[in-house]
Amino acid sequence: MEQAVTKAAAIRLLILDVDGVLTDGKLFFDQQGNEYKSFHAQDGHGIKLLRRTGVEVAVISGRSSPIVSLRMNALGISHVYQGHEDKRAAFAELLAKLALTPEQVAYVGDDLLDLPIMSQVGLAVAVHDAVATVKDLAHWHTSRCGGCGAVREVCDLIMQAQGHYDAIVDTYLT
């Protein structure tokens, strides 16, 4: 945990996978082929709070879905990369666009598609129900599963490590 806190203090960009991280990974389709996903409200609120501290947030997904675009728009996330099974090009573009180094990036993943980026970033996080290989590579694991508040744990970790968390809590108490 100490290593994760130290690494989290340097984070300027949080990159999230979608299916299995922001959602529980289940895919629902109706008879017309419309896709449905479920997002956890605590994850969304954590993202909004983290963005208030100046940390950028991005998503890179192997799949494409209009639902993801809608949710990211509602959260104010403009760095949205969908349909990138090989996520390395999107990662490189984000680093260049935001003038960041890999050490300034945290990435949250759950499956093998996430390994190429997780192996490069300053803070690699695996959700609780990630596959074993992803957990083995990660610097830190969440106690919650993807789509069930795991992203909120990461947001809180970063805010605490950077000294913002108590001030944010105070805004709700006064």
The owner of tokens 């795991």 is: 150
Residue positions in the annotated binding site for Mg(2+)?
A: 17, 110
Question: Exposed, middle or buried, 113 (CB in 10 Å: 0-12/13-18/19+)?
Answer: buried
What 3-state class would DSSP assign to 116? helix
CA atoms in the 13 A half-sphere facing the CB of 47: 26
CA distance 150 to 57: 15
| 73/67 Cα distance (integer angstroms) | 10
Binding site residue list? 17, 19, 110
Binding-site residues for substrate: 19
Pairwise CA distance, residues 163 & 15, whole Å = 20
